[in-house]
């Protein structure tokens, strides 16, 4: 995987060589100069907030400082601090990091500020522990050439972005723990105030993201703090509609504020910091080391401010940012996260996490043999992590909102390297990103059918950004979701076609489980 990513990065670096300077553009904080690149102008490393260092660590992003003269914006800013020991295994390249990391990037095909092109704002994934706008897969050039301004926004991850603490909550007056989400919101405010200078339309902004980025999109769609900052939303393998995480229960992630504050207090105490002031004096390296490898150590928090409540309840009550959504899941999400498992371990894990509902879960996702347990563990991961959330999202918005929801199920198996670990993988977690961005680079042996799927997805995504409807000339018809006709576009695989929601029987079992966890049903 490391060799593949290095080759992809090298290929894209060569493709981007020979760039020329472009005319400076004025943003609110000063003049920026990007680079002309094959019909586009590209700006990398524009600061959208002050560096969150020193006393600004664990605070909402502050405004960026003004500068004199012309700022060269031709290289990505540093990525936010993170433990990169697992990055190659997770498909992430090793990147330069610094706490001074709140920068964004713009790819624009516009020749003048008055073109008012649709805007796509990318939010990266990485389990809220990893992520960088500098990943070659996220290069926005090919999407921009379809007629959109593409922006990618950095945000703090791990304890820097999602650590709550009682002193932090007292300091802010409205909870703590969602600094990474506030970074995303600050980036969207920058887009609102500055994107017209790059030929973008501030009234046609679409947020899109994958995994933790897709979950972020879901959370922004429910956050009153993000109201009015975007007009459509695309979530790839995201969504956050489960109840609060209390005591290690299965299938949910978002903790209530008190639990998150206790975690943060314990985390700093483990580093010898018994106050917030002492915590702000710790080195970034010490915080990264204490967090350790892996995903999910810190997560967005039900703080009562950015995230006011259980998102399922908010949507049921019609309390959300009602915009058109395009949302979906990959067919084999779990293969990346569950490489192997024994039947006994799988069954024991379900009984521990799902309590009195475990028997119903095991009836839908059986584990009588090791082979069956592996398939069920992967499917249960797919559905509790992603598929149930997108289905719940489409249903709730259809019932309580005015805007349409378009649901997809991605099943195109990419040309994995001929290695044993990929033998039984299908459309795994994150593989759709390369298709969406159109970055099908060597050394993978991409086939004509992969390029067809990529062209189709790029067209759908840009059409949706332009109008709130993905449909367009030459594309398979994609009707919106309705309870009477729960249409889902099955993308790739044998062919792209319409069907009902895949694995609906399993999702209905999970609907009962989540209702029970909310105290609204019985096992």
DSSP run (H or E) holding 221? helix 212-222
Report the number of secondary-structure helices (H) and strands (E) in the chain: 18, 15
Tokens matching residue 10: 């090298």
Structure tokens belonging to residue 399: 């019932």
Whether residue 503 lies in the annotated active site: no
Which H helix or E strand runs over 47? Answer: strand 40-47
Q: Which of 210, 236, 333, 432 is catalytic?
A: 333
C-alpha distances in Å from residue 13, one per residue of 40, 309, 331, 458 = 16, 44, 32, 22
Angle, helices 370-382 vs 343-354, to 10°: value is 40
| Cα–Cα distance for residue pair 467/377, rounded to 1 Å | 39
206 in Cβ contact with 233 (< 8 Å): yes
Provide, for the chain, the percentages of residues in helix, strand and coil under a 3-state DSSP scheme, each rounded to the nearest 5: 40, 15, 45
- For the beta carbon of residue 425, count every other beta carbon within 10 angstroms: 18
Is 389 in the active site?
no
| CA-based nearest residue to 415, from 404, 395, 431 | 431
Residue 25, token pair as written in the block: 């553009």
* Element of type H or E holding 250: none
Enumerate residues 6+ apart whose C-beta is below 8 A from 398.
405, 481, 482, 483
Q: In what order do the strands lie in the sheet with 70-72?
A: 25-27, 30-33, 70-72
Residue 500 burial (C-beta neighbours within 10 Å; 0-12, 13-18, 19+): exposed
Using DSSP, state whether 400 is helix, strand or coil.
helix
Strand, coil or helix: 475: coil
- 173 CB-near residues (< 8 Å, 6+ apart): none
The reply to whether 211 belongs to the active site is yes
**Catalytic residue of the set 389, 429, 480, 503:** 429
The token duo for 159 is 């304890």
Using CA atoms of 221, 224, 227, 230 in order, give the dihedral in degrees to the nearest 10.
-20
Q: Which residues pair with 208 in a beta bridge?
A: 122, 234
Give the Cα separation of 148 and 199 in Å (integer).
Answer: 9
Handedness of CA 263, 267, 273, 276 (dihedral sign): negative
By the 8 A CB rule, do 180 and 128 touch?
yes
The one catalytic residue in 79, 87, 132, 211 is 211
b/e per residue 448-469 (b: at least 16 CB within 10 A):
eebeebbbbbbbbbbbbbbebb
Query: Do 132 and 92 meet the contact criterion of CB atoms below 8 Å apart?
Result: yes
Residues with catalytic annotation?
211, 333, 429
């Amino acid at each position: 995987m490391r060799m593949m990513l290095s080759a992809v990065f090298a290929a894209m670096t060569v493709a981007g060589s020979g760039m020329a300077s472009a005319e400076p553009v004025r943003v609110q904080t000063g003049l920026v100069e990007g680079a002309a690149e094959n019909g586009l102008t590209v700006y990398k490393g524009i600061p959208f907030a002050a560096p969150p260092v020193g006393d600004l660590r664990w605070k909402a992003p502050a405004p960026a400082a003004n500068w004199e003269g012309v700022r060269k914006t031709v290289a990505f800013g540093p990525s936010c601090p993170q433990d990169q020991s697992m990055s190659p295994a997770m498909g992430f390249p090793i990147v330069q990091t610094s706490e001074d990391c709140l920068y964004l990037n713009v790819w624009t095909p516009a020749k003048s500020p008055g073109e008012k092109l649709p805007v796509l704002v990318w939010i990266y994934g990485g389990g809220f522990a990893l992520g960088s706008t500098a990943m070659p897969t996220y290069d926005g050039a090919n999407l921009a050439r379809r007629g959109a301004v593409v922006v990618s926004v950095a945000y703090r991850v791990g304890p820097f972005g999602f650590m709550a603490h009682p002193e932090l909550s007292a300091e802010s007056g409205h909870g703590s723990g969602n600094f990474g989400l506030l970074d995303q919101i600050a980036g969207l405010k920058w887009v609102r105030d500055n994107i017209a200078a790059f030929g973008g339309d501030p009234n046609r902004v679409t947020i899109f993201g994958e995994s933790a980025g897709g979950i972020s999109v879901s959370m922004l769609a429910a956050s009153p703090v993000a109201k009015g900052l975007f007009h459509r939303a695309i979530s790839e393998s995201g969504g956050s509609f489960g109840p609060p995480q209390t005591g290690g229960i299965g299938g949910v992630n978002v903790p209530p504020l008190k639990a998150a504050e206790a975690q943060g207090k314990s985390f700093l105490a483990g580093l010898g910091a018994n106050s917030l002031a002492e915590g702000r004096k710790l080195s970034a390296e010490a915080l990264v080391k204490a967090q350790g490898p892996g995903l999910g150590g810190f997560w967005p928090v039900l703080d009562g401010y950015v995230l006011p409540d259980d998102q399922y309840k908010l949507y049921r009550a019609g309390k959300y940012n009602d915009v058109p959504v395009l949302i979906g899941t990959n067919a084999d999400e779990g293969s990346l996260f569950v490489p192997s498992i024994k039947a006994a371990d799988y069954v024991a894990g379900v009984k521990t996490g799902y309590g009195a509902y475990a028997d119903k879960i095991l009836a839908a996702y059986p584990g009588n043999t090791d082979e069956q347990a592996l398939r069920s563990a992967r499917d249960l991961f797919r559905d509790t992590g992603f598929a149930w959330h997108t289905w719940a999202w489409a249903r709730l918005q259809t019932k309580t909102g005015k805007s349409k929801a378009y649901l997809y199920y991605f099943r195109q198996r990419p040309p994995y390297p001929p290695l044993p670990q990929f033998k039984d993988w299908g459309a795994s977690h994150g593989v759709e990103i390369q298709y969406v961005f159109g970055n099908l680079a060597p050394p993978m042996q991409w086939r004509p059918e992969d390029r067809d799927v990529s062209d189709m997805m790029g067209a759908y995504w840009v059409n949706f950004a332009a109008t709130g409807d993905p449909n367009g000339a030459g594309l398979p018809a994609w009707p919106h979701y309705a309870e009477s006709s729960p249409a889902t576009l099955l993308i790739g695989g044998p062919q792209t076609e319409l069907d009902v929601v895949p694995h609906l029987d399993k999702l209905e079992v999970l609907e009962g489980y989540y209702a029970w966890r909310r105290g609204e049903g019985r096992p």
